[in-house]
């Protein structure tokens, strides 16, 4: 029992509490009976703290174990075994492997799968797509479900990079991309050809000067000098001085964005795989001094353009954003698009050029063929490379495409599922479908697809013939993703190279409406792709497995079976034979049966067997007037009967019966001839 004096001492201590050693002060203030319990009290506190730590660790471990079982829980999805916290990307974090190699291993480990389940950092589930049909679905057909890139940037930390369409989503993406595509029109690109040619001439002179000093040079370095000079000239009207000044600012700023340093690697890792950590640490992708330099450069360029205009990309962007000087330009937007000009045209182009030089040096026969093609084109234009001559360098273009296949600067196309999407069965004999939830990462493994021996035999052999016109058509469209695909494809790609249909013809068709105004280049391209996709959908849906030929009856049957193709039933009506038509008419009352003569009945009986293969096409009143020869050709082409009888579906049964009777003789005669 505690005495009153002890209580007074304890109260006095409590009033003066504030010294760090609470327990020791208490032990000095409390009587002997209480002090003896303090060691036990300490042990209880330590034990409770230890238990709390143990429970926390256990809860974290159980959480990560549970999160690592996501694909098992949703349906025993096949995929590589993950590690807690790091998922399947530990080797990427430690620098042992590039993420492109990691996804290639996943791609090769499940050769029969359409897609593979994997785990990102923090065990977030994701999907690696293998099947090219599913690749097409993600990038093009179901773009609305995958319209966001899995590369997240905080606009408050990276305001300049946030202007790049690559990192934008939804309406912001459409707005940013339209701003850029309005600049990359064919007329504006064509106008920059003399500027590029001037830089190319300077490039040749630079190589000649360099080789006088040393015959050896670093391919990536000289290619980077060339591409940064081209971007500076055609985008900003600036001489980057990369050929004359080793410490040129423009070159230093470009290298600061892409130079392979530890800082660049950390920024890229955080932006790709841990955007939440990047936001928490406020780590910008664009360094602060690069941000300030670009703003200063853009402000100076604007000041100069107020007195002197220049036909380049910067001027086009400035006029577009300012509505030709009517409104004030947002300096963040203009500077951000300037960074996009550099990022899109500098690093990827120089990387491709350096690898192309390497492959040509390693393959002298191919190098000689490329050089011979260039000589022939230059000879035709008296030693000057012109724009029409540039389009004649077919083999050089094939060599460039093969370089992009083997050494793609884009190892993956990362997407995010923006609304729930039902995946196809993972394996051919599987019927189980898994729903991909909103927010799930979807990886298109470009590097793995480009090196798949099933698509490209001997994938590690440099062979430009893979990209001949014939070989391109023999492969699925999405087997080459060097420029991306779908609405998010490379900004400056020539649309005619990406579509099978002639864009000029599609534009003419779209312009047939008198109310149609100007047609945006992106809208035209997407319309061409939509038309191609519709044709592909019709052909695949109508084609019968085991058949060698796609016939008229296949298309008509498919149109009839699909409710959403009802608008085509007037163009592709289903055909029936005369015998089938007669059977159909017999089921209905016919008031004119008594007026039929006995001779007509006998004639019908004689012709019944011959007419079994004759088809009747249900057509509209407009088609009723078409020549009989056209109908016969249509039937002949489809491999069905030799003649076709056209019947207006809007006529009554009496008129139908008379029409058939009046046409029986010609039909029998033509069938006999054939």
Q: Which residues are annotated as a binding site?
A: 490
Q: What are phi and psi of 481, to 5 degrees?
A: -130, 35
Secondary structure (DSSP) of 436-491: EPTT-EEEE-HHHHHT-TTTSSSTTS--GGGGSHHHHHHS-GGG--BTB-GGGS-T
Encoded tokens for 458:
């001997």
**CB 315, CB 233: distance < 8 Å:** no
> Nearest to residue 346, comparing CAs of 202, 206, 492?
492
Encoded tokens for 409:
């600067």
> What residues are designated binding site for heme?
490
Q: Which residues pair with 443 in a beta bridge?
A: 128, 414
Strands 435-436, 148-149: pairing is unpaired
Q: How many residues belong to the chain?
A: 674
**CB 378, CB 385: distance < 8 Å:** yes
First to last CA, the chain: 124
Q: Which residues pair with 83 in a beta bridge?
A: 87
Rounded alpha-carbon distances, angstroms, from residue 237 to 196, 198, 216, 231, 669: 11, 12, 31, 9, 77
Our separate counts of H helices and E strands in the chain read: 33, 10
Sheet holding 148-149, edge to edge: 115-119, 125-129, 441-444, 413-416, 148-149
Cα angle value 147/149/153 (rounded, 5°): 125
Q: Which residues pair with 117 in a beta bridge?
A: 127
Output the 3-class SS for 336-387.
HHHHHHHHHHCHHHHHHHHHHHHHHHHCHHHHHHHHHHHHHHHHHCCCCCCH
C-alpha to C-alpha distance for 396 and 373, rounded to whole angstroms: 8
> Nearest to residue 568, comparing CAs of 525, 593, 534?
534
283: left (phi over 0), alpha (psi -120 to 50) or beta: beta
Reduced to 3 states, what is the DSSP secondary structure of residue 38?
Answer: helix
C-alpha to C-alpha distance for 556 and 573, rounded to whole angstroms: 6
C-alpha to C-alpha distance for 573 and 159, rounded to whole angstroms: 57
């Amino acid at each position: 029992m505690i005495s009153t004096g002890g209580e007074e001492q304890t109260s006095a201590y409590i009033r003066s509490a504030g010294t760090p050693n609470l327990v020791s002060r208490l032990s000095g203030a409390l009587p002997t009976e209480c002090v003896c319990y303090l060691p036990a009290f300490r042990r209880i506190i330590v034990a409770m703290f230890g238990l709390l730590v143990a429970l926390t660790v256990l809860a974290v471990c159980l959480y990560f174990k549970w999160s690592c079982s996501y694909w098992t829980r949703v349906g025993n999805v096949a995929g590589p075994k993950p590690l807690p916290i790091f998922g399947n990307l530990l080797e990427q974090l430690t620098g042992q492997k590039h993420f492109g190699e990691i996804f290639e291993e996943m791609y090769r480990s499940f050769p029969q799968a359409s897609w593979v389940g994997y785990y990102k950092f923090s065990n977030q589930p994701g999907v690696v797509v293998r099947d090219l049909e599913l690749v097409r679905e993600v990038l093009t057909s179901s773009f609305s479900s995958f319209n966001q890139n899995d590369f997240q940037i905080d606009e408050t930390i990276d305001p300049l990079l946030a202007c790049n369409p690559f990192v934008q989503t939804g309406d912001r993406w459409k707005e940013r991309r339209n701003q850029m595509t309005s600049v990359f029109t064919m007329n504006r690109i064509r106008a920059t050809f003399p500027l590029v040619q001037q830089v190319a001439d300077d490039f040749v002179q630079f190589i000649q000067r360099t080789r006088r000093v040393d015959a050896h040079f670093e391919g990536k370095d000289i290619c980077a000098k060339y591409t940064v000079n081209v971007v500076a000239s055609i985008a900003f009207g600036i001489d980057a001085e990369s050929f004359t000044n080793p410490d040129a600012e423009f070159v230093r700023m470009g290298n600061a964005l892409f130079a392979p340093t530890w800082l660049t690697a950390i920024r890229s890792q955080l932006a790709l795989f841990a955007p939440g950590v990047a936001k928490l640490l406020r780590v910008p992708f664009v360094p602060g001094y690069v941000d300030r330099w670009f703003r200063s450069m853009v402000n100076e360029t604007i000041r100069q353009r107020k007195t002197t205009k220049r036909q380049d990309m910067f001027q086009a962007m400035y006029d577009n954003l300012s509505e030709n000087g009517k409104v004030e330009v947002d300096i963040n937007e203009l500077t951000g698009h300037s960074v996009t000009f550099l990022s899109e045209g500098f690093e990827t182009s120089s990387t491709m050029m350096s690898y192309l030089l390497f492959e040509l040096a390693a393959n002298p026969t191919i190098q000689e063929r490329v050089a011979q093609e260039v000589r022939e084109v230059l000879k035709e234009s008296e030693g000057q490379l012109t724009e029409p001559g540039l389009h004649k360098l077919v083999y050089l273009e094939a060599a460039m495409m093969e370089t992009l296949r083997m050494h793609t600067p884009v190892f993956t196309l990362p997407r995010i599922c923006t609304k729930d999407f039902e995946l196809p069965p993972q394996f051919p004999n599987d019927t189980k479908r898994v729903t991909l939830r909103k927010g799930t990462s979807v990886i298109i493994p470009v590097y793995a697809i480009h090196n798949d021996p099933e698509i490209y035999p001997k994938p590690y052999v440099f062979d430009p013939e893979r990209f001949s016109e014939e070989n391109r058509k023999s492969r699925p469209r999405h087997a080459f993703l060097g420029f991306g695909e779908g609405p998010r494809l490379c900004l400056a790609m020539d649309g005619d190279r990406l579509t099978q249909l002639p864009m000029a013809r599609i534009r003419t068709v779209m312009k047939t409406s008198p109310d149609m105004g100007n047609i945006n280049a992106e809208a035209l391209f997407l319309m061409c792709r939509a038309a191609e996709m519709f044709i592909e959908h019709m052909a695949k849906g109508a084609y019968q497995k085991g058949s060698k030929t796609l016939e008229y009856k296949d298309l008509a049957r498919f149109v009839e079976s699909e409710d959403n193709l009802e608008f085509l039933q007037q163009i592709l009506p289903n055909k029936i034979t005369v015998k089938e038509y007669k059977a159909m008419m017999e089921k209905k009352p016919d008031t004119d049966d008594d007026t039929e003569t006995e001779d007509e009945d006998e004639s019908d009986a004689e012709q019944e067997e011959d007419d079994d293969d004759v088809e009747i096409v249900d057509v509209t009143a407009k088609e009723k007037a078409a020549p009989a020869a056209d109908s016969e050709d249509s039937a002949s082409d489809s491999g069905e009967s030799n003649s076709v009888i056209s019947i207006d579906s809007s006529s009554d049964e009496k008129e139908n019966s008379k029409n058939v009777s009046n046409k029986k003789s010609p039909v029998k005669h033509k069938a006999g001839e054939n």
